[in-house]
Structure 1
Amino acid sequence: MNRRNFIQRSGAGVLMLALPDLPRLPQLAVGVPMGVVVHSYWARWNSKVVSTAYPAFTNALELLDHCHQIGAGGVQVVVNGWSDAFARSVRDRREKLGMYLEGSISVPKKADDVAAFERDVIRAKEAGAQILRTVCSSGRRYEILHSPEAFVAMRQAALTSLQLAEPVLRKHGVRLAVENHKDWRAPELVAILKQLDSEWIGVTLDFGNSMALLEDPMTVVQTLAPYVFSTHVKDMAVEDYADGFLLSEVPLGEGLLDLPKMAAVCKQHNPAVTFSLEMITRDPLEVPCLTPDYWATFGDLPATELAWMLHTARQHKPAPPLPRTTPLSPENRLALEEKNIVSCLAYSRGRLEK
């Protein structure tokens, strides 16, 4: 029985047991332990649930402290709107704990936004972040864009934002990493980067997101790795449904992805790259690739890519079905989230770390 089977078959009371206080795990001499992306704490970040076992994280200091306790090497966390004093506090705590820090930031939409963006960059750098992750859209492509023209407009807006950001990044010596965030297919993102032609703008390479756009995850990694600044490491499982397929993050090692090979490709292109976990514990995402509206922005995408994805979903049905959090109580969701993160960090030791 694997770990996911055990969690699903255990009684709800098991999930309500608080994890014990975890000792600081030793860092491997050969490399930096995997970090944690703030979105891994989907339920706990700014949670309204009153929980003694899993109190809410409300800022980067609390996230750093907890991730240090469970053995993570760093964090990637939102940096928008920090004060100078808070940035210095994060710097001091990060240095004391010996962890890396990557920021998550919004890029300017218009010239009037550049000053605020620069303030965020300065404060993130003061805290120790040399890499800032960003996204160029407000959601999943197939949910928010409904025509070819809408995609062209999104692409132009993204290009404008990155062009506004680039002089600030160059001035302060900070790199910006654009995530493949279920918006860009890999060749489209590469085309944007080539048009920008800046050493200061690259990629946050998400290992699993692009499956939602019918891309082979290994091909995505091979395409984007030459531009990789940071990563979102996750493992994926799929299951078919009437309108397409369901897509779900699962604990590392329990899904479809060849994670050691993906990590090796990233390190080949950027030996200094860090690996940051984005294990989002939630219900599976519906990817309605058999509905007409899904295809509104994809143009002449080959049918072979759809066939590959549907074949994958039908040939790799998980047993039991994909995990779902909706039936769980709020406390149990927090418990399962923590268990999944700790499990993923344990998997990474000796497999993904440098």
Structure 2
Amino acid sequence: MKQQRYGRVINVASMLGSVRSPNEARIAPAKAMPHLKHVHLKDYWIYLTEEGYRLVRCPIGQGVVDFPALFTLLSQHHPQMTMSIEVGALEARHTRVLADDYWLEYPARSASQFAETMRFVLAHAKAPADWRTPYEKNEPESSIIAYENHQLLSSIAYMQGLVRTYNAIQED
């Protein structure tokens, strides 16, 4: 039988950038399981703004994504799923949900979907602070590289621990 080469890729953290609810973020991989080929692993911190919220890159496991729940889902349906660590962009993603022009490029969301997303955002938003990356602060290249390396190595360490946990569970 020929193996299907085309399928879906899920980027679990980016759903908040298009005001997709956390519930949708959990359901989407389940619905996509028969067609899923790859998962991008990324995490964000959330900071509130006057126009909505910013999604700021962070090491995997330190932000808002529930990776143990994702791994449980994947281990049930696709234990050999390919995944990649994708540390977010050096520039924060401003999700301007309270600005009228934001919605021109996105599908309409129901009031209940929007409310669910905003409840999640409000519950997980970090206290006001300087959220900018070294890149956004125009720091020297060496600072940006050190920042990148720290976030990547922290993400790898977190994922190694999570994979060990799930491998041990599957062996039992």
The TM-score range, normalised by the shorter chain, is 0.7 to 0.9
Partner of residue 256, structure 1: 64
Partner of residue 103, structure 1: none
Q: Tell me, which stretches of 5 or more residues in structure 2 are unaligned?
A: 168-172
Contact 1:281 1:337 in 2 (8 A): no
Structure 1 counterpart of 2:83, one-letter code:
F
Question: Alpha-carbon deviations, 1:308-330, whole Å to 9, x = none?
Answer: 22233323222463342222221
Partner of residue 133, structure 2: 324
Contact 1:205 1:232 in 2 (8 A): yes
3-state DSSP class of the match of 1:338?
helix
Contact 2:47 2:128 in 1 (8 A): no
Partner of residue 118, structure 2: 310
Structure 2 counterpart of 1:314, one-letter code:
L
Question: Alpha-carbon deviations, 1:250-290, whole Å to 9, x = none?
Answer: 11221111101112212322222122100125132111111
Question: Alpha-carbon deviations, 1:169-214, whole Å to 9, x = none?
Answer: xxxx7x7xxxxxxxxxxxxxxxxxxxxxxx3321121111111111
Partner of residue 207, structure 1: 12
Query: Alpha carbons of 1:319 and 1:244: their partners in 2 closer, same or farther (altered >3 Å)?
Result: closer
Q: From the CA coordinates, give the structure whose radius of gyration is larger.
A: 1
Structure 2 counterpart of 1:228, one-letter code:
L
Contact 1:281 1:336 in 2 (8 A): no
Identity %: 21
Partner of residue 47, structure 2: 239
Query: Alpha carbons of 1:254 and 1:239: their partners in 2 closer, same or farther (altered >3 Å)?
Result: same
Query: Alpha carbons of 1:333 and 1:320: their partners in 2 closer, same or farther (altered >3 Å)?
Result: farther
Structure 1 counterpart of 2:6, one-letter code:
I
Partner of residue 161, structure 2: 350
Output the TM-score relative to the length of structure 1.
Answer: 0.41
The match for 2:148 among 313, 325, 337 is 337
Structure 2 counterpart of 1:204, one-letter code:
V
Query: Partners of 2:75 and 2:56 in 1: how far apart?
Result: 26
Q: Tell me, which stretches of 5 or more residues in structure 1 are unaligned?
A: 1-172, 176-198
Question: Alpha-carbon deviations, 1:116-160, whole Å to 9, x = none?
Answer: xxxxxxxxxxxxxxxxxxxxxxxxxxxxxxxxxxxxxxxxxxxxx
Count residues with an aligned counterpart.
158
Query: Alpha carbons of 1:319 and 1:301: their partners in 2 closer, same or farther (altered >3 Å)?
Result: closer
Bigger relative contact order (CA 8 A; separation at least 6): 2
Contact 2:9 2:39 in 1 (8 A): yes
Query: Partners of 1:309 and 1:209 in 2: how far apart?
Result: 13
TM-superposed CA distance for 1:247, in Å, is: 0.8
Partner of residue 286, structure 1: 94
Query: Alpha carbons of 1:261 and 1:329: their partners in 2 closer, same or farther (altered >3 Å)?
Result: same
Structure 1 runs of 4+ with >4 Å offset: 297-300
Query: Partners of 1:337 and 1:276 in 2: how far apart?
Result: 16
Contact 2:47 2:126 in 1 (8 A): yes
Q: Tell me the C-alpha RMSD between the 2 structures.
A: 2.2
3-state DSSP class of the match of 1:253?
coil
